[in-house]
Amino acid sequence: MSKSDCRIDIEEISGVTVARLLEKKILDEANIDLLGQELFALVDKDGRKKIVLDFTLVEYLSSAALGKLITMHKKTNTAGGKLALCSIQKDILDVFKITQLNKVLTLCTDLDDALRKIG
């Protein structure tokens, strides 16, 4: 997969994998599937255990994308790791609260907060 095809940008900070989501709108099924594959590969192929998903650029998220996040959470837990989400815009945060996902997923205000919680 070429760099331009990637839906996430990866950075290592103090032993934590930070995956920045690069799409503003995560809405269509094809993009969501590709994003899921990239995220799942972090755990399944790379064996990463501490992962922060940075939502700074994300403005819209479909319900299908929420499903991928739940699967990512389960994969990380099964592997004995930790997953945190950070820098989530208010509209998306409201969806997490309505769907009660804020009780399942670790949601952090910003990257520093996320690194503290799972580092």
Calculate mean pLDDT across residues 72-100: 96
Indicate the pTM of the whole model: 0.94
Name the pLDDT band for 5 (thresholds 50, 70, 90).
confident
pLDDT one-digit tens code per residue, 25-57: 999 999 999 999 999 999 999 999 999 999 999
Pair 51, 15: CB distance under 8 Å: no
Q: Which residue do the tokens 């760099």 mark?
A: 3
CA-to-CA distance for 17 and 64, rounded, in angstroms?
24
CATH number of the domain at 3-113, please?
3.30.750.24
